Amino acid sequence: MRIDYAATAPEGYKTLLAMYGYLKKTDLATALLHIVYLRVSQINGCPYCVDLHWKDAIAEGMEPRKLNGVSNWKHMPFFTAAEKAALALAEEITLLPGQAVSEAVYEEACRYFEEKELVDLSLAIAHMNMLNRVAITFHKVPEL
């Protein structure tokens, strides 16, 4: 690792991690957060976060087959319509094609999530993007 950012800026890192506490108190299902965190981390190519969120999801009882399907969720039968809407939103917020989230993806998410849930889901996606970018910058990788 280039710099141990948690040790170098512990207050900043602790503040960044505090968002998890907020997100755990929302109405969003833990399983939904796991698949969103995993997908965002896959898109960004963050090895540490992909490993971490896969392990966390397994530890909380998620089905490994479903987690393995996250990378190809559009074509897998394991996901509910709401989960697919959340994953589509996660991809668009992460990639921002055309510097926007499309109306189609936004409207589909609105079908399954109330306003507060949609804001919380967007915060979760943005939070994971931030964590991924810090870990990638400093070459954080999973330990064996």
Long-range contacts of 70-75 (CB under 8 A, 24+ apart): 70/35, 70/38, 70/39, 70/42, 71/39, 71/42, 73/35, 73/39
Q: What confidence score (pLDDT) does residue 112 get?
A: 98
Give the burial class of 18: count Cβ atoms within 10 A of its Cβ; 0-12 exposed, 13-18 middle, 19 or more buried: exposed
Kindly report the CATH class assigned to 10-137.
Answer: mainly alpha
Q: What confidence score (pLDDT) does residue 96 get?
A: 96
Q: What confidence score (pLDDT) does residue 108 get?
A: 98
Q: At 119, is the pLDDT very low, low, confident or very high (cuts 50, 70, 90)?
A: very high
Q: What confidence score (pLDDT) does residue 110 get?
A: 98
Could you tell me the pTM of the whole model? 0.96
Q: What confidence score (pLDDT) does residue 53 get?
A: 97
Q: For the chain, what are the domain ranges?
A: 10-137
The Cα–Cα gap between 43 and 100 comes to 17
